Each structure stands twice: as C-alpha cells, then as structure tokens.
Amino acid sequence: MSENGARGVWGWLLQRVTAVGLIVVAGVHVYVLHFAGGHAELTAAAASARLDTLAYMLVSYSLLAFVLYHGLYGLRSVILDYTTGERAVRVVTAGLWVVGLLAFCYGALALVRFMKG
C-alpha cells in the first residue's frame, strides 16, 4: 500500500470512530439537557454550572472535536471527488485542517467563557 493509501485508511477509520463517538456523546448531551431534571435549564448560569463538572466539560469538548473532524473529513471527501491532482489534495487537506483547528479554538474559547460564570 502506498503512503497516500495508508493515510487514507487512517482518515477513513477516524471518520467511523467519530461517527460512533458522535452518537454516544450527542446522546449524553441530549439526555443531560432534556431528561436529567431541573438542572438542565437553558440559561448561561445553568450552562456554567454544567461545565464546572469534568464529565460534562469532556462531553462538550468531545462533541465539538467529533463534529468538526467528521464534518470536515466528509467535506474533504466530497471536494476530492472533483479533484485529482496530488498538489490539490494537499492544499485541500491542509486548508481544512486549518479551518478545523481555528473552529475548534473558537468553540473552545466560547466554552471557556461559560466556565466559572
């Protein structure tokens, strides 16, 4: 298998792992917000209180990371259906990594603002 093929296998595998992770983490997120009792209010104070717990903080950051990777890898796959050149593949991949990392940082900063009020 070529080096490019080996990288493609890892991307494909991570796409499937993040799909399973999304199902689990989104399920936890929905359960906490909709079925976990009175503390699941949709207010800034309630969000801050939830994010004070390590478990929910992990759920939130995992959800952010899984959604970004899964979505951007899917977008990469669609774009590469129309791109054949090796240079174009590298440019698209690098560009989507930059977009993903910037989006993760932006989302992480938004979550940090809710922590500790």
Look at residue 112 in the predicted model and tell me its pLDDT. Answer: 87
Look at residue 44 in the predicted model and tell me its pLDDT. Answer: 76
CB 56 within 8 A of CB 115: no
The tens digit of pLDDT for each residue in 41-82 reads: 677 777 788 888 888 899 999 999 999 999 999 999 999 999
CA distance 103 to 117: 22
CB 110 within 8 A of CB 61: no
Beta-carbon contacts of residue 116 (< 8 Å; ≥ 6 apart)? 48, 52
CATH 3.30.310.10 fits 3-114, yes or no: no
User: Which sequence spans correspond to the domains of the chain?
Assistant: 3-114
Using pLDDT thresholds of 50, 70 and 90, give the confidence band for residue 117: low
